Structure 1
Amino acid sequence: MSILTTTKRAFRDLGALTVLALLSEQPRHPYEVQRLIRDRRKDFVDGSPRSLYHRVDWLVRRGLIEVADTGREGRRPERTVYRITDQGRDELQSWLTTLLSTPLYEHPLFSAAISFLGYLPAEAAIVALDARMVALEGDLAGADASLRALRGQLHLPRVVLLEHEYGQALRRAELQWVRSLIDDVRAGRLAWAGDADFAAHRQRSTVGGPQPASAK
Structure 2
Amino acid sequence: MSLQIFILGILCEGHRHPYDIKKMFKRESLAPEVRISDGTLYYHFEALTKQKYIERIMVSREENRPERTLYGITELGREALVEMIYKNFRSFKEVSDLYPCILFIHHVSRERVIGMLEDCIAAVNQKIQRFERIWNDVPPDSSEHPIVLNAKILQEHAMNRAKTDLEWLEKVLNRTKSIPS
Q: TM-score by structure 1 length?
A: 0.46
Once the two structures are superposed, residues 118-146 of structure 1 have per-residue CA deviations (whole angstroms, 9 ceiling, x without a partner) of 7962223245557x48x97xxxxxxxxxx
Q: Give the Å deviation of 1:14.
A: 1.2
Mapped pair 1:19 → 2:7: yes
**Structure 1 98/72 Cα, relative in aligned 2: closer, same or farther at 3 Å?**
same
Mapped pair 1:123 → 2:149: yes
**Structure 1 42/129 Cα, relative in aligned 2: closer, same or farther at 3 Å?**
same
User: 1:121 aligns to what SS in structure 2?
Assistant: helix
Once the two structures are superposed, residues 131-164 of structure 1 have per-residue CA deviations (whole angstroms, 9 ceiling, x without a partner) of x48x97xxxxxxxxxxxxxxxxxxxxxxxxxxxx
The aligned amino acid for 1:122 is: V
Once the two structures are superposed, residues 77-124 of structure 1 have per-residue CA deviations (whole angstroms, 9 ceiling, x without a partner) of 111111101111122123324434x25347xxxx9xx8x997962223
Structure of larger gyration radius: 1
The aligned amino acid for 2:77 is: G
Count of residue pairs brought into register by the alignment? 122
Q: Which of 9, 13, 17 is residue 29 of structure 1 equivalent to? A: 17
Structure 1 portions without partners, runs of 5+: 1-12, 137-166, 174-216
Query: Whole-Å Cα distance in 2 between the matches of residues 127 and 95 of structure 1?
Result: 37
Alpha-carbon RMSD across the aligned residues, in angstroms, is 3.7
Q: TM-score by structure 2 length?
A: 0.53
Higher share in helix: 2
**Structure 1 168/36 Cα, relative in aligned 2: closer, same or farther at 3 Å?**
farther
Contact 1:14–1:45 (Cα < 8 Å) also in 2: no
Mapping for residues 197-212 of structure 1, pairs under 5 Å: none
Q: Give the Å deviation of 1:48.
A: 2.0
User: 2:30 aligns to what SS in structure 1?
Assistant: coil
Mapping for residues 18-57 of structure 1, pairs under 5 Å: 18-43=6-31, 46-57=35-46
**Structure 1 168/27 Cα, relative in aligned 2: closer, same or farther at 3 Å?**
farther
Query: Whole-Å Cα distance in 2 between the matches of residues 122 and 33 of structure 1?
Result: 48
Which protein has greater RCO, CA pairs closer than 8 Å, 6+ apart?
A: 2
The aligned amino acid for 1:17 is: I
Structure 2 portions without partners, runs of 5+: 95-126, 139-144, 169-181
User: 1:67 aligns to what SS in structure 2?
Assistant: strand
Query: Whole-Å Cα distance in 1 between the matches of residues 167 and 79 of structure 2?
Result: 35
